[in-house]
Structure 1
Amino acid sequence: MIFEWIQRIDRGLAAAERGLVIALTAAIAGIMMVQVVLRYFFSAPIFWAEEISVQLLVFATLFGLSLLVQQGQLVSIDFLPRALPERARRGLMVLLGGVMLALLVFVAWLGWDWVNRPDVRMELGATTQLPRWYNFSALPLAFALMAWHQFAAIVRDLRALGGAPA
């Protein structure tokens, strides 16, 4: 039962991330198209378009990376796992997944600590004068989501090691 809940939450987060990445990408495309039209046809560029687009791109990249972790589609060297028998392969995946989980949690913690520093909290965007901490907070949030997805993958592999279907 707990396994099903973990996997359901994992799939739900992935669906939300997918929708968010699609929306952010569409927003970037829309802002930049309007920027091009206004700049070159009306000589009236949007002063904040580039800054906001870069911030949206950071969000889209980090949450897209989290989605790749959930789908197991990160670039990897897999000649050793493919050469191993199924049980040994799952064991290796649990071991490597544990290392990756520890790293993701550590980076999320470092990111959260960094975002909460007073100098970072006071930093403002160059053109918009909006606080930048909300943009920086994408880092610890995305790494926490990646850690969750990695945890769910470890649970799947452990279950498969025990003989249950993953």
Structure 2
Amino acid sequence: MKKTFLQIERWTTGAAMAAACLMLAIASSLGMFQILMRFVLEQPAEWTEVLIRFSLIWMVFLAIPAAFRQGAMVSVDVLYRWSPPALRRVLDAVVSLAALALIAVIVWFGWDYAKRGGVQTMAGLESVSMFWAYLALPVGGLFSAVGIIGNWVDPQRQELETAQ
């Protein structure tokens, strides 16, 4: 069961990170296109600004699961280092449950916000609903929940090296 879940978690976190990288590539390409159009051809393409914002929002919410999986988002390092191993697992559980509670709020209200924003259209892209931009919150939250549980089941702590 644990092994199967960790395989699913590895796949979902990897897929979310690949999609986040794709969104970064799209935002970068659109930014370069916007610079070319605005300053070289003197014909600004306003629609690119909206798509850059859209792709950056999705990039952030799809990259967060990888940070949760690495234990980089919520960390209580000093308390963790001073604690015996049994208390460390309790700390892991408390931090994971707190993070899951926050993610549950983000998913719940993100979905509600996406549904309510579905009647709006993106400025500059009148044919695209804002639902697709707001959907990044619940989708990223669901991927994050899998990453949080994965870090709780199989903790990965990558601490910074101390300067010598």
In structure 1, distance between residues paired with 2:64 and 2:152: 18
| CA distance in 1: counterparts of 2:74 and 2:100, whole angstroms | 16
CA distance in 2 between counterparts of 1:112 and 1:35 reads: 31
Distance 1:48 1:27 in 2: 13
Instruction: String of CA shifts for 1:113-164, please: whole Å, max 9, x gaps.
Output: 22223xx11011111112110110000111111112112222336xxxxxxx
Q: Distance in 2 between matches of 1:9 and 1:153?
A: 13
Matches within 5 A, 1:44-55: 44-55=43-54
Q: Who is 2:132 aligned against?
A: 134
1:98·1:154 contact (CA, 8 Å) conserved in 2? Answer: no
Q: Distance in 2 between matches of 1:16 and 1:144?
A: 13
Distance in 2 (CA, whole Å) between partners of 1:156 and 1:145 is 16
Q: Where in structure 2 are the equivalents of 1:13-52 lying within 5 Å?
A: 13-52=12-51
The secondary structure found in structure 2 opposite 1:46 is coil
Spell out, residue by residue over 1:89-116, the C-alpha distance to the aligned partner (whole angstroms, 9 max, x if none).
Answer: 1221112211221221232112112222
TM superposition score normalised by structure 1? 0.86
Aligned length in residues: 154
Provide the rounded CA distance (Å) in 2 between the counterparts of 1:141 and 1:41.
Answer: 38
Question: How far does the alpha carbon of each residue in 1:55-111 deviate from its partner, in whole angstroms, 9 at most, with x for none?
Answer: 100000111112211221225342101111122112211122112212212321121
Look up the equivalent residue of 1:123 and give its one-letter code.
Q
Percent of counterpart pairs with the same letter?
23
Is the Cα contact below 8 Å between 2:46 and 2:124 reproduced in 1?
yes
Greater helix share, structure number: 1
Q: Which runs of 5+ in 1 are unaligned?
A: 158-166
Match of 2:162 in 1: none
2:93 is aligned with what amino acid?
Answer: V
User: What's 1:59 paired with?
Assistant: 58
For 1:93, the equivalent position in structure 2 comes to 92
Superposition TM-score, scaled by structure 2 size: 0.87
SS of residue in 1 equivalent to 2:75: coil
RMSD across aligned C-alpha pairs, in angstroms? 1.5
CA distance in 2, matches of 1:74, 1:96: 10
Identify the structure with the greater strand proportion: 2
Aligned partner of 2:120 among 98, 103, 123: 123
